[in-house]
Structure 1
Amino acid sequence: MLVSIVYDSGYGHTARQAAAVAEGARRVAGADVRLVAVADGDIPWETLALSDAIVFGSATYNGTISARFKKFMEDSTRPAWMPQAWRNKVAAGFTNSGAMHGDKLNSLITMALFAAQQGMVWVGLDLFPGKTAAEKNRVGGWLGAMAQSDDAAPDVTPPTSDLETAAHLGQRVAELAAQLRAGRAG
């Protein structure tokens, strides 16, 4: 079972979140996880077409996804959207910004709408909002994993609770992708 994580990270904070999503997905037996940084250049469209799940991630800038992530979405028209190469794949999303709110919900809505246009099945976060900063889902998102990073190096922020939230989402996506895959085989 292949889980791909396609993300953009301007300063490294969202890359840490992507790594946490990957860590969570790897907790599921049989999961092969690929990280795809859109800033690295060529997108492995064939790998994405073979994926059972694709998790999208972008930093939130000015209330929406990054320009590079938007370009990835637009570039997907011919290799993914027109042939419906991602139809019925599991999809989910995560985002990070400097502000506690920062209009992160708009970024997740953008990703969810993109997934819907691709014919994908969106998976939200199944965690109640944390009551303290140390608990998972401290930002209180349902549509996907949200993180908040201080103006500091990515090795110290986002906090552990936000990374644990991202890992939980990755595991949830992989578990659901495995269930769907087993259902197709049975």
Structure 2
Amino acid sequence: MTQLPYVLVLFYSRHGSVSEMAKYIARGVNRVSGVEAKIRQVPNVADTTTIASPALPDDGAPYCTLEELADCSGLAMGSPSYFGSMAAPLKHFLDQTSTLWLTGQLIDKPACGFTSASTMHGGQEQCIHSMMTPLLHHGMVWVGLSYKHKELIHTSAGGTPYGASHLANSTNETTLTDDEKALCEAQGKRIAEMTLKLQKSV
């Protein structure tokens, strides 16, 4: 049985909202025939280098390997917004991808980003930009959200043309609004469609 090409839904989530977004991103990916979603997370980074993370997380998606990133056909990457930037654990994972950069294994694959912050102006768009930069260095093709999605225009919570976002009213707020859910699914569906289009063009 031939394995379908997959969109890697890769994220770090501290309080759960980004993890919840990842599920809706994956749902959107899986709405497209001929491609599937693979959900993976990254572990916390330790305060000291002598502490190692367990090989498997206590709950949720498995930890991502560099091989899974190299073999993906598309990438959706998510992080909470920390001071307008991606979280350190996700940056740490990306800092280990030099071999993939040297061998060009991510060139011409589509990528998108999603994020969550607990204030309206908590740096959601800038956080997505911070994820975009290293992926552009890898030669990936950035895929945002178009304004054909009416939720992007009338949302009073999260949602940006750079990628899906969530406005958490408190640190532990993980409930997405209907608009945020719709935009996450739209983001997943679009990255899946672009994955198939770019594969056909090769």
Normalization by structure 2: what TM-score? 0.81
Partner of 1:130, secondary structure, is: helix
Partner of 1:125, secondary structure, is: coil
In the other structure, the counterpart of 1:139 is 158
Aligned-pair CA distance for 1:63 = 1.8
Partner of 2:135, secondary structure, is: helix
In the other structure, the counterpart of 2:184 is 166
Deviations 1:135-165 (A, max 9, x none): xxx535111111111227555x232221211
In the other structure, the counterpart of 1:101 is 121
CA distance in 2, matches of 1:144, 1:159: 16
Alignment CA distance shift 1:140-1:37 (3 Å)? closer
Partner of 2:107, secondary structure, is: coil
CA distance in 1, matches of 2:136, 2:155: 33
Structure whose alpha-carbon radius of gyration is higher: 2
Alpha-carbon contact 2:41-2:63 (below 8 Å) kept: no
Amino acid at match of 1:75: Q
Aligned-pair CA distance for 1:66 = 0.7
In the other structure, the counterpart of 2:24 is 20
Alpha-carbon contact 2:12-2:79 (below 8 Å) kept: yes
Partner of 1:119, secondary structure, is: coil
Provide structure 2 residue ranges, at least 5 long, that are not aligned to the other structure.
Answer: 44-56
Matches within 5 A, 1:35-184: 35-39=39-43, 40=57, 43-78=64-99, 80-127=100-147, 129-133=152-156, 138-151=157-170, 153=172, 157-184=175-202
RMSD of equivalent CA atoms: 1.8
Amino acid at match of 1:49: A
Provide structure 1 residue ranges, at least 5 long, that are not aligned to the other structure.
Answer: none
Normalization by structure 1: what TM-score? 0.88
Between structures 1 and 2, the one with greater helix share: 1
Partner of 1:54, secondary structure, is: strand
Paired-residue identity, %: 26
